[in-house]
Chain A
Amino acid sequence: MKKWIALVVIVSTLFSCVKENTNGNIDNYNRQKLLSNWVEHSIIPSFIALETEVQAMQTIKNSFANSATQDDLNKLKNNLFEAQKAWQYTAMFDLGQNFEDLASFRLFTGNYPVDPVLIKEQISNINTTVDVNFNSSASIHYQGLNAIDYLVNSDTFTSFENKENYQLFLSKVIDALLTRISQRKTYWETNKETIINNTNKTATGSFSVMINDYISYAEQELRTAKIGNPSGIFPTFTTSKNPQNVESYYSSENSKALFIENLKALKNLFYGASYDGSIVSGSGIQEYLIFLNSDITIGNQTVLLSKYIEKNFDDIDVAVTILDDDFAKQVETDNAKMIALYNVLQDFIPLLKTNMMQVLNINIDYVDSDGD
């Protein structure tokens, strides 16, 4: 009898050592170092860069005399392009955003295509006393970087009769944009420590949330928005080309450059490089996958998963290189090449969504049920 009591005691102690639902997926990779690298070397610097550009735009538009000069416009165009490039790094993560908001930072600041009809409507209705509604879900079609692109890069500026209204609207769009950017930047700066120290691997752990955002960003922004929509793969399969759906349509000669920046943002976090690429500490997804010793079986071969993802990055590079700088032009002249790039991306996204998520062993669910 005593033996049995002893056994029961031993067993129950053993069990109590195992805390309920800690979700024992804990590996001892240094996630804190990775998170700190991402947040401090990539995310925050990219927000600073973006804010700087938009602040410059604000200064320019504030100094508009009665009417903006061509010189002002050219300066705005330059700053806009720089801001658009920096934006690619900032719009990836939804951390700290209220999910009840009608749209995310990404949509409020970088949605495209914007709607010229809505923008013109806003311009006609504008007056100095009533604020423009920049918070409705419809407002994503008349604000953000791509609205500014329409305002400064299309020929509307010269053709628009009511210059005063026009400039007032431009001014409000820039102000609203800057406010949002500064808010997000402040969020990251004030919550830096909390985010970096939340290293657990449950669904609410920083790495879990960020890796999910990383993949959705690759899926929705890099693949669908930048390539799928203009090439006509999305929203219909019936290849009806939509060149007007490229990013920055009114300066579409920049669209490829923006795609490349977006891809670089994803690569930086993968390789553990800083925002401007100057520091490569290596604390990134690649290192994590190597740490986990994770390989992948392709036919009879076994290769390192990280190597295979690198190969996919290379494949994307190759497919992009042959494209025109102007994606709108590319769609018009030879859409097959756009679709070819889409197909390469379509190999890449499932690789992240299935194989990578599998080995990182992260809970996608907020509900944590038992397994088999």
Chain B
Amino acid sequence: MKLLQTYISTHKTKAATLAAFRVLFGVLMLVSLLRFISMDWVEQFYIAPQWHFTYYGFEWVQTLGVYTYGLFALALFSCVGIILGYQYRISMLLFFLSFTYIELIDKTTYLNHYYFVSCLSFLLCFLPLHATFSLDARKKGVQYTFVPSWTVDSIKLLLAMVYFYAGLAKLNSDWLFRAQPLKIWLSTKTDLPLVGSFMNQSWFHYTMSWSGALYDLTIPFLLLMRKTRPYAFVLVVVFHVFTRILFNIGMFPYIMICATLIFFDSSLHERFIYMLKKIINKPLKATVLTREFYTVKSAKNILFIISLFFVFQLFLPFRNLCYPGELLWTEQGFRFSWRVMLMEKVGYTTFTVRDSVSGKQFHVKNSDFLTSFQIKQMSFQPDFILEYAHLLGDHFKSQGHQNIQVFVESYVALNGRLNQLYIDPKVDLYREEEGFHNKKWILPLNDEIKGF
């Protein structure tokens, strides 16, 4: 306990580390958002769809239609604020809120990377990333050389957790003993230069699977230890560049590579800041004082919130243990738990709307209601299927149909297994409710996946 107290109150590290992280984070987010807009995804994901799949408990988060661009503008402005260190806390808070709001509009677009950005930006709201090399410091006339170590360490902890949990999740029989889903994904990439000829070979699939799991599990520790750090960073770069070449994963590799730089000695970050200063070439105002140590205001409260956040992060990924059945099949407790690249899942799902009294029924054309992207995601995720069933029920009810029942015929293939019936076709989904309880109408997988 005493040790912890001294660590919190006296352990310090260079503020330049946080400043460097702030600039990199801001720039990467700015680029990510601009890329997102330039791909026309704002239109395709948030404006064009007639209807959105919401997160349980966040149904109130609605698309703003064409004003969603306003949200993106807000997020972009806050990125500029973050980079410059201008009104840092407000900028960071605005970024967290606008980014998270965008992500909550439609779970069709859910990606662990986006969740990671939300988590990280939440954490950063509480950390003094503007202690030095920021407009805030310049305006206030005070900059600091040191910040408490726990500020930097909490970022490291989050990163380490993401990697480690992603590694744990890979310790399952599909990943390790069937090399799935990598086998499916890699087999179609034989056109790549140099490595292309390996892509269709079993040993390569297994090598990639095992080394991927090993990488995720060990990289946090390799980055923490000074001796292994430079090698670890080379690994980080190689790993993420490789994933970038193989998969369509957007900005994530860049974000991870830059983020892991935080594990390095502050001398590196100081040099980075020094370099930036040289580029900017604006002498520090003589009036700016340099103080030694940044003391976090209401540190107790902040530490309490951060601890709570980490406890939450520690347990949330294990919530799948509360549910029976195969996690990868039922997906109960799948999201928000750093289970990355674990599944190749495709579904074929069609709905029947029935009048329980007259027995009349008809098939629904999914494309009348959903975009092709939404159909794809809906087809193999039970909570999507349920929400869509309710949408259909409500829709046809409002059209004057009565005694509505909604049934689904769904076939799903997981990780190279033969497809099988996914949802009990006899269950009227219109009467089933979303919630944290077990979804009994998901039929069990005719197989067992061992491990996490």
Contacts and interface: CB of A to CB of B under 8 A. Distances in A.
Interface of A: 1, 4, 7, 11, 14-15, 17-18, 21, 23-29, 234-238, 292-299, 308, 349-351, 353-355, 357-361, 364-372
B360 A236 contact: yes
B440 interface: no
Contact of A370 (B185, B249, B363): B249
A360 B416 contact: no
Nearest to A22: B248
Contacts of B412: 354
Interface of B: 39, 41, 44-45, 109, 111-113, 178, 184-185, 187-192, 196, 199-200, 237, 241, 244-252, 254, 257, 268, 271, 275, 340-341, 344, 346-348, 352, 359-363, 371-373, 376, 411-413, 416-419, 446-447
Contacts of B187: 27, 292-294, 359, 361
Contact of B244 (A18, A25, A238): A18
Nearest to B191: A26
30 contacts: A15-B254, A18-B241, A24-B192, A26-B190, A26-B192, A27-B188, A236-B360, A296-B416, A297-B416, A297-B418, A297-B447, A299-B446, A299-B447, A350-B419, A353-B348, A353-B419, A354-B347, A354-B413, A355-B346, A360-B188, A365-B372, A367-B373, A369-B41, A369-B109, A370-B113, A370-B249, A370-B250, A370-B252, A372-B249, A372-B341
The 7 closest A-B pairs by CB, nearest first: A370-B250, A350-B411, A354-B413, A26-B191, A353-B348, A361-B188, A354-B419
A209 B413 CA distance: 22
Q: Among the interface residues B44, B246, B271, B419, which one has the most CB atoms of the partner chain A within 10 A? A: B419
B268 A24 contact: no
B361 A367 contact: no
B372 A297 contact: no
Contacts of A369: 41, 45, 109, 373
Contacts of A351: 418-419
A9 to B, nearest CB: 12
Contacts of A299: 446-447
Contacts of B360: 236
Given A24-B189, A372-B112, A364 B417 contact: no
A214 to B, nearest CB: 15
Nearest to A358: B346
A361 B184 contact: yes
B410 to A, nearest CB: 9
Nearest to A359: B184
Given A296-B417, A365-B376, 6 more contacts: A11-B237, A18-B241, A24-B245, A24-B246, A369-B109, A371-B247
Q: Among the interface residues B185, B200, B371, B416, which one has the most CB atoms of the partner chain A within 10 A? A: B416
Contacts of B447: 297, 299
B425 to A, nearest CB: 10
Nearest to B247: A371
Given A11-B257, A24-B247, A28-B196, A367 B419 contact: no
B262 to A, nearest CB: 15
B340 A292 contact: no
Q: Among the interface residues B187, B252, B359, B362, which one has the most CB atoms of the partner chain A within 10 A? A: B187
Nearest to B180: A297
B188 A355 contact: no
Contact of B372 (A28, A359, A364): A364
B162 to A, nearest CB: 13
B200 to A, nearest CB: 5
A103 B160 CA distance: 56
A21 B38 CA distance: 12
B248 A371 contact: yes
B191 A27 contact: yes
Given A349-B348, A369-B373, A24 B248 contact: yes
Contacts of B44: 367
Contact of B200 (A236, A292, A353): A292
Contact of A18 (B41, B245, B371, B411): B245
Contacts of B346: 353-355, 357-358
B200 A293 contact: yes
Contact of B417 (A237, A298, A360): A298
A104 to B, nearest CB: 14
Contacts of A357: 346
B214 to A, nearest CB: 20
A350 B346 CA distance: 10
A73 B112 CA distance: 67
A118 B346 CA distance: 42
B185 A368 contact: no
Given A236-B360, A354-B347, A365-B373, A370 B111 contact: yes
B361 A370 contact: no
Nearest to B407: A237
A205 B419 CA distance: 26
Contacts of B341: 372
Contact of A292 (B178, B188, B254, B417): B188
Q: Among the interface residues A295, A353, A361, A367, which one has the most CB atoms of the partner chain B within 10 A? A: A367
Contacts of B192: 24, 26
Contacts of B188: 25-27, 292, 359-361
B136 to A, nearest CB: 27
A1 B269 CA distance: 11
Contacts of B189: 24-27
Contacts of B376: 364-365
A36 B361 CA distance: 43
Contacts of A293: 187, 200
B45 A296 contact: no
B392 to A, nearest CB: 16
Contacts of B418: 296-298, 308, 351, 355
A295 B416 contact: yes
A23 B249 CA distance: 10
Contacts of B362: 235-236
Contacts of B446: 299
Nearest to B181: A358
A349 B45 CA distance: 29
Contacts of A236: 359-362
A72 B189 CA distance: 58
B371 to A, nearest CB: 7
A14 B248 contact: no
Given A27-B190, A297-B418, A358 B373 contact: no
B248 A15 contact: no
A1 B371 CA distance: 49
Contacts of A14: 241
Contact of A354 (B178, B185, B237, B411): B411
Contacts of A370: 111, 113, 248-252
Given A15-B254, A370-B111, A235 B417 contact: no
Contact of B190 (A7, A28, A237, A354): A28
A293 B188 CA distance: 9
A7 B344 CA distance: 34
B277 to A, nearest CB: 14
A353 B413 CA distance: 9
Contacts of A27: 187-191, 199
A111 to B, nearest CB: 17
A4 B268 contact: yes
Contacts of A349: 348
